């Protein structure tokens, strides 16, 4: 039996945010961050932005359009 994932209710997404963090995208997509990372590695998540320092962000418009199609 798999362990229950911990849902963080402290995720906030400002209305004017143009890019999202992995926890924000995971929250919106109702996925764990690990699942989001696995799917992104397989090319299943659109809008991934690899920034300097191994920082990852996602284009908000691409994520919202992807979620609307799901």
Domains held by the chain: number? 1
Domain containing 44 equals 19-69
Q: What is the pLDDT of residues 19-62, one digit of tens each?
A: 999 999 999 999 999 999 999 999 999 999 999 999 999 999 99
Q: Is 42 part of a structural domain of the chain?
A: yes
Query: Tell me, what's the pLDDT at 52?
Result: 96
Question: Considering the entire predicted model, what is its pTM?
Answer: 0.82
Is 1 part of a structural domain of the chain? no
56 in helix, strand or coil?
A: strand
The SS3 of residue 15 is coil
- For residue 10, the model assigns a pLDDT of 81
Q: Which CATH number is 61's domain given?
A: 1.10.1660.10
C-alpha to C-alpha distance for 29 and 26, rounded to whole angstroms: 5
């Amino acid at each position: 039996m798999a362990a229950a994932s911990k849902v963080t209710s402290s995720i906030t997404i400002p209305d004017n945010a143009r890019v999202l963090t992995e926890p924000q995208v995971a929250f919106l997509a109702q996925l764990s961050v690990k699942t989001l990372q696995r799917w992104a590695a397989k090319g299943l998540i659109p809008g991934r932005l690899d920034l300097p320092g191994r920082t990852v962000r996602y284009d908000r418009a691409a994520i919202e359009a992807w979620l609307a199609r799901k």
